Amino acid sequence: MNLCRIKTKSLTILLWLVLAAGVLKQGEAAIGVNWGTISHHRLSPKTAVDLLKVNKISKVKLFDADPQVVNALRGSGIQVMVGIPNEMLSLLGSSPAAADLWVRQNLTTHLSAKPPADIRYVAVGNEPFLGSYSGQFQSYVMPAILNLQQSLVKANLAGSVKLVVPCNADAYESSIPSQGAFRSDLMQIMTQLVSFLNTNGSPFVVNIYPFLSLYGNSDFPQDYAFFGGTNHPVVDGPNTYYNAFDGNYDTLVAALDKLGYGQMPIVIGEVGWPTDGAISANLTAARAFNQGLINHVLSNKGTPLRPAVPPMDVYLFSLLDEGAKSTLPGNFERHWGIFSFDGQAKYALNLGLGTGLLKNAKDVRYLPSRWCVANPSKDLSAVANHFKLACSVADCTTLSYGGSCSGIGEKGNISYAFNSYYQLQKQDVQSCDFDGFGMVTFLDPSVGDCRFLVGVADTDDASSSGWHCGIWIVSRILIFMGVFMVLLLEE
């Protein structure tokens, strides 16, 4: 499709200029959060929205368009970015009917409701250009975007809802920021994408993770990952970089500039620091990074290549821990939340939103105060298979090397695994049997920083990751069925 044929081009260029001027003049960033829901113990959407509101978090980024979650955000005053999974890009790119149907079901329905949801962005895929995907989704991105944009135009939403593509920072590269350029295999598609974003008034969305740089490279200077100064600054001509975030950000600025869009607004789609599951993932480091980031961004100092122009928005990753996420990237993957799974603040953090330190979720309903532990009267030498079974279903990542529960000993490890499984099974008494190796106790077995959890009952019957995956699958089936019916009618 020729972008010049879009009838709204002139208007959207004007809107973008107004938007860009406003951003450059205002010079202020907004702090939001990512809200992921891949959890064994899922807070009800209402409780999570109340948590956002009590902390005055006015922007939230989702990874899908779960109707329960979006409905809970209706009338909240919170601006929403909904997401489209990478797996849907092929369908949406090949079928305008599918794009129309997605817009009707996931945008029009919520925007026309009383009260409406305040949906501002649609994230088309999530890091679809990630190098480890080996180009699996790459060719689907632009066709999906172009079809969705036409669907927005048909639905009279193109002026209010913007399409974006959250990119991983591996989409660009350079040894020094000023030489930043997009990967050679992405140059053609990035040129098309950035042109589209510019034409339609959308920002460039990027995910930046200094933690992953530190985690994946033993030579990476630890102090450079934070914001307190470093003994290993990066000198780039007249500019000196004292933290990895600024260096990464300006590498993107330089890459955009090479394509002719050096002033394009940038949104940080994900940034944060995990609290468990790895050596450098702990409460102290997470607080230091996130507070340093917030203070740095809200100071409006910007970066050497964009002085006094901070990112347009910054979405912290993430709101809550997600204990059912894949651990393929590392065991830390389930521990990015600034709040634990039950909405309780993990550490003192001031988001700069006028509420002081983080406030906990209220009126969370827990299961009874009881735990499943290893039976002290039993010989545990034959318990290995039970331990593996428990941890194959429940989350045992805190037991990993460097985790908060890594030092509680063999019997402690067994008890932790048993309890994690027991809580996941809603404290079903049979789930603590383990052929007699387990027993229920009313004494909290938590040790130091190692917390033995009690599950939440505040879930709207939607707590398990299985339920969430089921809804995800059903929604995709419905889209396929809907597209099929639309195509039949078109014939």
pLDDT 10s digits, 180-222: 999 999 999 999 999 999 999 999 999 999 999 999 998 999 9
- The SS3 call for residue 438 is strand
Tell me if residue 270 is catalytic.
Answer: yes
Count other C-beta atoms under 10 Å from residue 22's C-beta: 11
Residue pair 31/314 in contact (Cβ under 8 Å)? The answer is: yes
Q: How far apart are alpha carbons 154 and 152 in whole angstroms?
A: 5
- The SS3 call for residue 98 is helix
Calculate mean pLDDT across residues 312-321: 98
Residue pair 43/456 in contact (Cβ under 8 Å)? The answer is: yes
Q: How far apart are alpha carbons 29 and 105 in whole angstroms?
A: 31
Calculate mean pLDDT across residues 461-466: 40
pLDDT at 29: 82
| Active-site hit among 87, 173, 270, 333 | 270
Q: What is the mean pLDDT of the chain?
A: 90
pLDDT 10s digits, 60-118: 999 999 999 999 999 999 999 999 999 999 999 999 999 999 999 999 999 999 999 99
Calculate mean pLDDT across residues 369-396: 97
Calculate mean pLDDT across residues 164-181: 97
Calculate mean pLDDT across residues 374-383: 96
> Over the Cα atoms of the chain, what is R_g?
24
- Say yes or no to pLDDT of 464 above 80: no
- Say yes or no to pLDDT of 21 above 80: no
Least confident of 156-170, 412-426, 431-445, 469-483: 469-483
Tokens of 354: 């006028």
| Active-site hit among 127, 173, 333, 491 | 127
Q: How far apart are alpha carbons 45 and 441 in whole angstroms?
A: 31
DSSP helix, strand, coil percent of the chain (3-state; round to 5): 45, 15, 40
156's CB contacts (< 8 A; 6+ apart) are none
Half-sphere CA count of 290, side-chain side, radius 13 A: 34
pLDDT at 481: 55
Residue pair 286/347 in contact (Cβ under 8 Å)? The answer is: yes
Q: How far apart are alpha carbons 85 and 395 in whole angstroms?
A: 24
Residue 10 banded pLDDT, cuts 50, 70, 90: very low
pLDDT at 482: 52
Q: How far apart are alpha carbons 54 and 360 in whole angstroms?
A: 8
pLDDT 10s digits, 398-443: 999 999 999 999 999 999 999 999 999 999 999 999 999 999 999 9
Calculate mean pLDDT across residues 131-141: 97
- Say yes or no to pLDDT of 127 above 80: yes
Q: How far apart are alpha carbons 92 and 260 in whole angstroms?
A: 29
All structural domains of the chain: 3-334 (3.20.20.80), 371-441 (no CATH)
Q: How far apart are alpha carbons 341 and 338 in whole angstroms?
A: 10
For residue 352, give the amino acid letter.
Answer: G
Tracing tokens 């994230």 back to the chain, one arrives at 123
Which sign does the torsion angle of CA 387, 389, 394, 400 carry?
A: positive
Residue 460 banded pLDDT, cuts 50, 70, 90: low
Q: How far apart are alpha carbons 73 and 66 in whole angstroms?
A: 11
- Say yes or no to pLDDT of 26 above 60: no
Calculate mean pLDDT across residues 329-335: 97
Q: How far apart are alpha carbons 258 and 269 in whole angstroms?
A: 22
pTM over cut 0.85: yes
pLDDT at 148: 98
